Structure 1
């Protein structure tokens, strides 16, 4: 194992024969992607999150099962999972056939259709806290509407979230911890420009993750605090050992008359059919959903206690909040969601143990390899979702992640791509039910080979 400063690492990259070789190979085999990138720069202000830069993104032509194929014809084992929705893999037949049937009837009406009610019934039955549900178009909209409902219901203004959490791209979500602040009483800054300073000063709190001092901060601000929202599994730090902390958090929120929300946009219908609510036997006041519940099409959902959800309609004298969306509840998304969630429900006894088993096997194999080679890296996983972190120490929260190894991390994903395994640029990766044991074996071999490449170049 070696450590190095930034200047040393940059010099090593320039001299790293394997890094240079794999970069050349990838550029040579993706000329069409390079051409599309050049064309796109004339119109697109920003690409969607892709994968490692080569220096160009890879553009996908089609997908099937556990595979993605780019426009140059290169096939990859897909670990992007569509950023989470594709629990059943790419283009599952059960969803494809349902969509083909719906398209013959029409794909956007603007007024309600029966698939919306059917999917609502499914989510209500699956989510322990869901008395009623509202659909929207993304996880961002879901958390934004949940915050609005909580403020209206409680009459209080502040919302608390945790360091290392991600809740979408609206102004109230783009709060990040100030790394220089006290771990047990963190302050925050913004993730990007253009967000009013007053939001951070007057309306938001940042809490320390997996730290019981968060309970005291909630008690201190209870008179102004409408909602505490948390990812039950953080995308930056995926693990399934936070049950005691989450249950303690719920208890403190009840004590302080503060609403408690689980953001299950990623974990809902992925960790188990009932999400982390079922896994931890935990019933929050509100939950947000997205990704998997739409079967791979754009979706968000808010579910929760009936009296809180009444704010969406003004029923029974509840304060009414305004929401809307041209495509909310559209029949294509609802149809895809029905097909996917029904299949997952009917096969949950096989799907979810399998995903847990294969995700744990992948992590165990990779971590054993890293330990045997003294490589300062660990594959954190919560079942089928995982994130590789480079650090020699213990990881309890995102603040334990080190930027010291960012160059090694970047080059690792480059080498992984060279071994025909593709991971999203956000580095949160996923297995699907379409990944059979032999695909997982290939991924494990690719991880090991990529680490060997890094060692050969002196980066770890």
Structure 2
């Protein structure tokens, strides 16, 4: 029988206390949620087990302020785009200058080639670039270009990966299939079965069986697509596996594509390609590339990307398009952000990676010392909490054993004025100072102790 609210409150007094405090200090968020629920089918993200989300009114640097005037250290960072923090001066200045010239024309503008050149200079595989409006569109175009170039129908992705919200990306690992021979399943309703049956296949992550499966399906496999660092399992001990995939794909005549929507310009100025010293055939970008504006990009070797250059309706060409793709405002913001990253890379990336490693190291040491079954995985400035013991090698190792503890932990963190997104992937930015990271560390430690005091872990 399900526990009543009174029983939960009695068993988790500190959890009830923080919930009550958060509800009391966010009345305008509550009102906005009531209003929005009447017209919005779904909003962007919830806020854990609160009855309403927190609505943000203003941002700056590493902080956000909600509609009730509460200020928080933000670890959402727009789900990754705000590598330089919220509203960095270089981007704000570029947008103000651009808005005085034009906002959108859907005709050629001189900024597209300038940003494309910056991508080409930074990213190893980028001989040509096409812009889109999101990472979802970028991976969709990448799959389409690969099929068009090779003439083969199938795309392979890996268990535990995320590649956007289009139908082809919503084929996930079927947990009931063998771990080394996974099959796909639709991620929710509305995705046609023909996609998982005829056009997509799932490969085992960090498992050399993937090499054999690529060889077995090379005759029908257009491209192997991978997040070089998975958002659900951020780690950097993946270099050997990535190089092995690249070698097998070249051996078999299968294209190899990095999904760098998150890792691009975050792990290093040249992204995961620079970090792992590897050159795939194609790569997708988004998030940090736009400086906070909505953006996507597909980059790759010229002979592959030329499939997009044959013109609309050409029988041997591949279609791409979008009313707002490459729009002047986004291009201006992207140029400003990428030029800043380029010019400050000797300081920017050591700061991000050193503070990220310090945060993960301190929390993992604390959990080990206090025998708390929690681990914080990271790849530089990108993180994911897992409330469990034992090594996590791949997605199927992730457990939901301490779900209640995890939910209450994030509420305690929010109650201490730090926001972690409900997807549990979070980021630090250039704007997060060493003092901010100190605050985050102490917030996480105190929140873990509160969860333990409520006997949830």
Partner of 1:86: 82
Q: Distance in 1 between matches of 2:169 and 2:6?
A: 34
Is the 8 Å Cα contact of residues 359 and 384 (structure 1) preserved in structure 2?
yes
Partner of 2:136: 140
Residues 1:184 and 2:189 are matched in the alignment? no
Q: How does the TM-score come out when normalised to structure 2?
A: 0.97
Is the 8 Å Cα contact of residues 9 and 407 (structure 1) preserved in structure 2?
no
Partner of 2:332: 335
Q: Distance in 1 between matches of 2:206 and 2:3?
A: 35
Q: Distance in 2 between matches of 1:351 and 1:46?
A: 36
Matches within 5 A, 1:79-228: 79-228=75-224
Residues 1:23 and 2:26 are matched in the alignment? no
Query: Structure 1 residues 10 and 307, CA, compared in 2 at 3 Å: closer, same or farther?
Result: farther
Alignment RMSD (CA, Å): 1.7
Consecutive aligned runs of 4 or more in structure 1 exceeding 4 Å deviation: 5-14
1:365 to 362, 365, 368: 362
Query: Structure 1 residues 309 and 377, CA, compared in 2 at 3 Å: closer, same or farther?
Result: same
Q: Distance in 2 between matches of 1:453 and 1:239?
A: 28
Partner of 2:249: 253
Q: Distance in 1 between matches of 2:153 and 2:46?
A: 36
Partner of 1:54: 50
Provide the secondary structure at the position in 2 that maps to 1:403: coil
Is the 8 Å Cα contact of residues 419 and 446 (structure 1) preserved in structure 2?
yes
Partner of 1:277: 273
Deviations 1:293-342 (A, max 9, x none): 11100000000000100011128x99301111000000000000000000
Q: Distance in 1 between matches of 2:6 and 2:64?
A: 32
Q: How does the TM-score come out when normalised to structure 1?
A: 0.97
Is the 8 Å Cα contact of residues 49 and 407 (structure 2) preserved in structure 1?
no
Cα offset, 1:50, TM superposition? 3.8
Is the 8 Å Cα contact of residues 126 and 274 (structure 1) preserved in structure 2?
yes
Is the 8 Å Cα contact of residues 356 and 428 (structure 2) preserved in structure 1?
yes
Cα offset, 1:181, TM superposition? 1.3
Deviations 1:176-235 (A, max 9, x none): 111121111111211111000010011111011001101111111110000100000000
1:375 to 368, 372, 385: 372
What stretches of structure 2 of length at least 5 have no aligned partner?
A: none
Query: Structure 1 residues 215 and 9, CA, compared in 2 at 3 Å: closer, same or farther?
Result: farther
Provide the secondary structure at the position in 2 that maps to 1:172: helix
Provide the secondary structure at the position in 1 that maps to 2:234: coil
Q: Which moved more, 1:71-80 or 1:405-414?
A: 405-414
Partner of 1:424: 421
Q: Distance in 1 between matches of 2:388 and 2:3?
A: 19
Cα offset, 1:82, TM superposition? 0.6
Q: Figure out how many residues of one structure are paired with residues of the other and give that number.
A: 455
Provide the secondary structure at the position in 1 that maps to 2:57: strand
Is the 8 Å Cα contact of residues 356 and 380 (structure 2) preserved in structure 1?
yes
Provide the secondary structure at the position in 1 that maps to 2:316: coil
Is the 8 Å Cα contact of residues 273 and 348 (structure 1) preserved in structure 2?
yes
Cα offset, 1:14, TM superposition? 5.4
Residues 1:240 and 2:206 are matched in the alignment? no
What stretches of structure 1 of length at least 5 have no aligned partner?
A: none
Partner of 1:34: 30
Deviations 1:17-70 (A, max 9, x none): 000000000000000000000000110000112432411000000000000000
Partner of 2:381: 384
Provide the secondary structure at the position in 2 that maps to 1:113: coil
